[in-house]
Amino acid sequence: MGRHSCSVKQKLRKGLWSPEEDEKLCNYITNFGIGSWSSVPKLAGLQRCGKSCRLRWINYLRPDLKRGMFSQDEEDKIISLHQVLGNRWAQIAAQLPGRTDNEIKNFWNSSLKKKLMKQGIDPNTHKPLKENQIIKDEENCTIKTSMLQIPPLNEIANGQFTESKQVFDLLFVSDFQSNSNPSEYNSEVLAQYHDHQSEFENNQNYVFCSASNVTKLEHGQMTETDFGSSSTSRMSSSNSSNMCSNQNTAGIQINGMSENSEALSWDIENKMESLFQYPYIGIKNEELKSSPSHERDQLHGNSTSGDFMSNYPLSSLTEEFKWA
């Protein structure tokens, strides 16, 4: 059972806001700032609940709001971000100054969704409509999609895939495909990964890593590729908690990248934890909130060092996830 709606407790107004109410709220916040929302209605002389005031301010009255049509640039950004973040409207809105999560959500549902459908793209998966079905081949333990084919995990573990293929982080890929939602698919991959974990760790041909970097041992030499366009500053493998603050706005670094291959073996927990270090691949809001503001700015791409999209080209990213 959920809580009672705040407007049920007392006889409070609901529905559209009148210009007078807007003015009262605006005046109050201009003069006294935002303190406790629950006390705002009383202090501002409004017959509304605090929640309603908060929403009205955030979605409509805030002075830094950008009203009007979405630009092509904003539209592209929303689509790209949705591809990675799914329906995390607040996180998407954080990348679009002056736009609210509600506005973006409405724009997506009323316009962008249809636009993508017309282009033959599934708005949920961002894949071609007819090929978006994930086919799970139980027999040979192969997981396929239209865009990605992961070789059978047991074969990877056994070292049977010895050609120069890159092995991406399966958990990440799974998240990526399912719009960052932990899913049954994830559980399955996780379970398979668990089954062969020790074998993976001993297999010198393949290295599982996260998001931006793919590393492979070839003839004892470490090679790496980087999805981001920026130079990479390497992370300390023993200090993953500081990853956010250390990374550049490309935002994604391999955990424990070093000349020592041992550093590249993680357990599942570390992998999952490290996945959540990445702001654009499902970082928890709370982590952002608890970061100092300049770090949040960096994470949100607000820093002057470059914005998110330019440092993290999604088109090339999805391209990189192809197996062949």
Residues contributing to the site for DNA (CB under 7 A):
1-7, 13-17, 35-38, 48, 50-52, 54-56, 59-60, 87-91, 101-103, 105-107, 109-111, 114, 284-286
Cβ of residue 171: shortest distance to DNA, in angstroms? 19
Nearer to DNA, 57 or 266 (CB): 57
Nearest CA-CA partner of 253 in 296, 209, 208: 209
Torsion angle (degrees, nearest 10) of CA 267, 272, 276, 277: 10
Cβ of residue 287: shortest distance to DNA, in angstroms? 8
Nearest CA-CA partner of 29 in 67, 58, 66: 58
Nearer to DNA, 111 or 229 (CB): 111
Cβ of residue 56: shortest distance to DNA, in angstroms? 5
Return d(Cα 112, Cα 78) in angstroms, integer.
9
Q: Which residues contact 233 (CB under 8 A, 6 or more apart)?
A: 246, 247, 248, 253
Cβ of residue 36: shortest distance to DNA, in angstroms? 4
Nearer to DNA, 6 or 217 (CB): 6
Backbone angles phi, psi at 215, to 5 degrees: -125, 145
Coil vs helix vs strand at 143: strand
Cβ of residue 275: shortest distance to DNA, in angstroms? 16
Cα separations (Å) of 260 from 142, 197, 285, 292?
30, 19, 33, 32
What is the token pair recorded at 133?
Answer: 């079905």
Cα separations (Å) of 143 from 13, 137, 146, 166, 311?
53, 6, 10, 16, 30
Nearer to DNA, 124 or 303 (CB): 124
Return d(Cα 283, Cα 252) in angstroms, integer.
11
Nearer to DNA, 5 or 133 (CB): 5
Cβ of residue 258: shortest distance to DNA, in angstroms? 31
What is the token pair recorded at 119?
Answer: 């282009």
Return d(Cα 216, Cα 144) in angstroms, integer.
22
Nearer to DNA, 151 or 282 (CB): 282
Cβ of residue 309: shortest distance to DNA, in angstroms? 19
CB neighbour burial string for 230-261, b if at least 16 within 10 angstroms, e if fewer:
bebeebebeebeebbeebbbbbbbbbbbeeee
DSSP count for the chain of H helices, then E strands: 18, 5
Cβ of residue 13: shortest distance to DNA, in angstroms? 7
Cβ of residue 43: shortest distance to DNA, in angstroms? 12
Nearer to DNA, 35 or 97 (CB): 35
Nearer to DNA, 53 or 254 (CB): 53
Nearer to DNA, 48 or 127 (CB): 48
CA-angle at 100, arms to 63 and 244, nearest 5°: 105
